[in-house]
Structure 1
C-alpha cells in the first residue's frame, strides 16, 4: 500500500531561490517514488498558480497551485492532511496548519524542512510549541541544525541532517570552454581573469560578502591587472546605490560587471565563463549556488561560519575562509590563481560534486524518511566536532 504524502509549499515554480530549488527537487523525488508505487503524493503551493507547474518535476494530477488564495490553501491542506500518512512542510510559516491535525491524529508523521534564516529567527511561543510537536526537523546543514538546537532548544533526536542536492535537471557541461557569447556580452576576452559571485543583492542581507570582495580588488589588480569581477543577482535600489558608490570610490568601473538577474538557462554558462566563484557569506543555510558552481567544474571560495561548510564538504571540495579576515581571503584568491585549472581537474571536481550532492542519494534519503521515519534508519544523529563547534552528523 503506497504511503500517502502531502507536501505543502509556499512557492515551488514561480521563483528561483534556494528554497524553491529544494522544493522542486523534492517534488521530483515524490514523482519518482509515485511512479514506483512507493508513495501516493500530492503537492500544494500557496502562491504558485497551476500554470506555473514545470512538468519535469510533477504531473498535473499531483500538483495544485492556489495563486495566493491563502484561506483556500489552508482549508484544502487541512482536509488533505487528515487523510495523509506523512505531511512534509517546506517552510516554518506553514506549521500552524498542522496544529489541529496533530491534535486529532497524534501519530501522524509530520516533517519540517529547515533551510536557514527563516527558522533562525526568534519564534512566537505558539510556533515553538508546534515545532516541538513535529516528528522530525530536516535540516539542510549542520549549521542550521545547531542554530535550531541553540535558539529553540529542540532535542537532538528530533533533528535530521539532509544536505541539499543538485537539481536533477541542472545542465552539466561536458566541455569547459568559456562561452564566446558571454565574453562578448560583458566586453571580456580570454586574457581576463574572471571572479564570479551570484547572490540576491539586498540591503537587508549584508552578510553575503560580495562587498568585501569588491574592496579586495585594488590589491588583486596590482598582481592581476586583467582581473574582472562579475557580480550577478537581482538587486534592490538601496543596495545598488551602495555598491555603485563603493565601485566609484575604489575606481573599479572597468573591472566590475554588475549583470543583474541571471536566467536559470544561463547559470551554467556563467560558471563556465568564470575562473573562480567566491561568496564568503556568514549566514548561508546551505548554499545551492556553491554546488552548482562545483558541478560546473568551477573552483569555489566560501565562508567557514555557516552552512557553506556543508556545501564544500568541510573544505574538501573548495576553500573555506573566515569571512571577516580580508587578508586571509586575499591570500586564498591569490593561491588559487597561481595555478590554472585544467579541463581534467574541472571534470574531476564535477565528478566529486555529483558523488556527494547528486540526485540519486538524495532520493534514497527521502525514501528512507518516508518509509522508515529517518534519513538513515541504521544510525542516530550524533554530535561530533565539526569545524570548531559540536554539530550533528551529516547524512546523505
Structure 2
C-alpha cells in the first residue's frame, strides 16, 4: 500500500472538496472516462476550487495527467483489498476530522456506506455519483440509507435517474444531472482512410458501424438486431457493409447469425480498436447504428462530433445525447424491421439529422467540455 497524504504539511491549503473513488487509472471503462471528464471540468473552474482525491485501487505508478496543486491524489492500492480499504478509511477520517472540507463526493455506490459512516457524525455533506447499472437494481438497506442521507445524487441521464429511483425508493428531486461529455477537439470529421478501406474491404461500400463490447452478457447492445436488419437494408442499398468494432465471447454467435442469414460477406468484425485509432474508424461510417439500452451512450456523441448520423434504442439513456430524437433516430431496440427502416432513411441522407456539421454543432453545444464545466459549476454552487 502506498499513499501520499501529508496531513502534517502546514503549507497545505484547505481543500474545498474531497473525491473518493474505487479506481480511475488502473483500468479503462465508462465510469473512469466520465470521472476524467469531471476532473478536466473541475480544473477549468476558477483557482478557488481545490480538492483532495482518495483512490482505493490505484497506485502512484499509474499515469495521472491531473496531479497538480488543485487536485492532490492519495493512493491506497494494497495486495489485500480489505487492508487497503481499512487504510484508506483511516486516512480519510483523519483528513475529514482535521480539514473539514465543504463537501465529499463519493464516486461509487460501493463506497457509499463508508462515506456516510465517516461524514454524517462530522456533519459534512456528501454527494454520491452514480453512472448506470450499478444502481438500477435494489441495493442493500445500508446502501439505500446512504443514498437517503446524502445531500444529493448525481447521475448521467434521466433514464439512469428513473431506473435508480424506482429500484431504491429515491426521491427524483434529489437526483441532479451531470451528463457525459464529448471532446470536440479530439472527435472531429474527416475523410475515409484509404488504408482502412482496403484493410476491411470497404471500398465503394456504404458503411454502417457499431462500437460495442461483444460479450454474451451485453446482448442489449443490439449488434444481433442490426445483423437481422441487414437483409432488408441490402434490398435498398446493396452496397452496404456492417463494420463491428469490439471483441468478446459473443462474436462466434454473431458470425454464425450473419452466415445463417446469408449476409456474412456484408459483416466485418474489426476486433478491438485502441482509443487513439477509433476516430479514424468513425470516419469510415456513413451511419452509426446501435439499437441498445444504454445508461447514456457516449458513442453516439463521438459519432455525432465526427459528423456521423446515429440510431439508438427508444427507451434508455440515449434519449439525452439524441435530444429525444431531435438529432438522431430512436427505434424499439429489439426490432430489426424498425432498425432497417430507420437505417434506410439515414442512408438516403435527406433528413436534417444527416447533416454532419449541424450534428457536430448540436453535440458540442449541449455535451462539450464547456457545457459540462457549466453544469458542474452550477451543481457545486447549488
State the TM-score, normalized to the length of structure 1: 0.85
Match of 1:4 among 11, 16, 19: 16
Separation in 1 of the partners of 2:337 and 2:229? 9
Q: Alpha-carbon deviation of 1:85?
A: 1.9
Separation in 1 of the partners of 2:372 and 2:139? 29
Matches within 5 A, 1:77-116: 77-82=92-97, 83=99, 84-106=101-123, 108-116=124-132
- Determine if contact 2:21/2:106 at 8 Å carries over to the other structure: yes
Distance 1:301 1:105, change over 3 A: same
Separation in 1 of the partners of 2:317 and 2:148? 23
Question: What residue number does 2:233 align with?
Answer: 220
Question: What residue number does 2:190 align with?
Answer: 176
Q: Deviations over 1:293-329 (max 9, x none)?
A: 1111110000110101011111111111111332222
Separation in 1 of the partners of 2:277 and 2:331? 28
Matches within 5 A, 1:329-340: 329-339=339-349
Instruction: Verify: 1:260 aligned to 2:274, yes or no.
Output: no
Ranges in structure 1 where 5+ consecutive residues have no aligned partner? 375-396
Question: What residue number does 1:143 align with?
Answer: 159
- Determine if contact 2:128/2:150 at 8 Å carries over to the other structure: yes
Question: What residue number does 1:379 align with?
Answer: none
Separation in 1 of the partners of 2:96 and 2:195? 49
State the TM-score, normalized to the length of structure 2: 0.88
Q: Alpha-carbon deviation of 1:340?
A: 7.2
Moved more, 219-228 or 112-121: 219-228
Matches within 5 A, 1:182-197: 182-189=196-203, 191-197=204-210
Separation in 2 of the partners of 1:17 and 1:81? 29
Instruction: Verify: 1:59 aligned to 2:71, yes or no.
Output: no
Q: Deviations over 1:357-396 (max 9, x none)?
A: 01112112212222x2x3xxxxxxxxxxxxxxxxxxxxxx
Matches within 5 A, 1:244-283: 244-282=255-293
Q: Alpha-carbon deviation of 1:116?
A: 1.1
Separation in 1 of the partners of 2:183 and 2:27? 14
Match of 2:171 among 122, 130, 155: 155
Matches within 5 A, 1:190-209: 191-209=204-222
Question: What residue number does 2:25 align with?
Answer: 13
Q: Alpha-carbon deviation of 1:158?
A: 1.4
* Residue aligned with 2:270, SS: strand
- Determine if contact 2:225/2:335 at 8 Å carries over to the other structure: no
Separation in 2 of the partners of 1:185 and 1:79? 57
Ranges in structure 2 where 5+ consecutive residues have no aligned partner? 1-12
Q: Alpha-carbon deviation of 1:290?
A: 1.0
Separation in 2 of the partners of 1:350 and 1:223? 27
- Determine if contact 1:228/1:255 at 8 Å carries over to the other structure: yes
Separation in 1 of the partners of 2:374 and 2:64? 22
* Residue aligned with 1:254, SS: helix
- Determine if contact 1:31/1:41 at 8 Å carries over to the other structure: no
Q: Alpha-carbon deviation of 1:262?
A: 1.7
Distance 1:226 1:58, change over 3 A: farther
Q: Aligned pair count?
A: 361
Q: Alpha-carbon deviation of 1:4?
A: 1.8
Separation in 2 of the partners of 1:321 and 1:66? 45
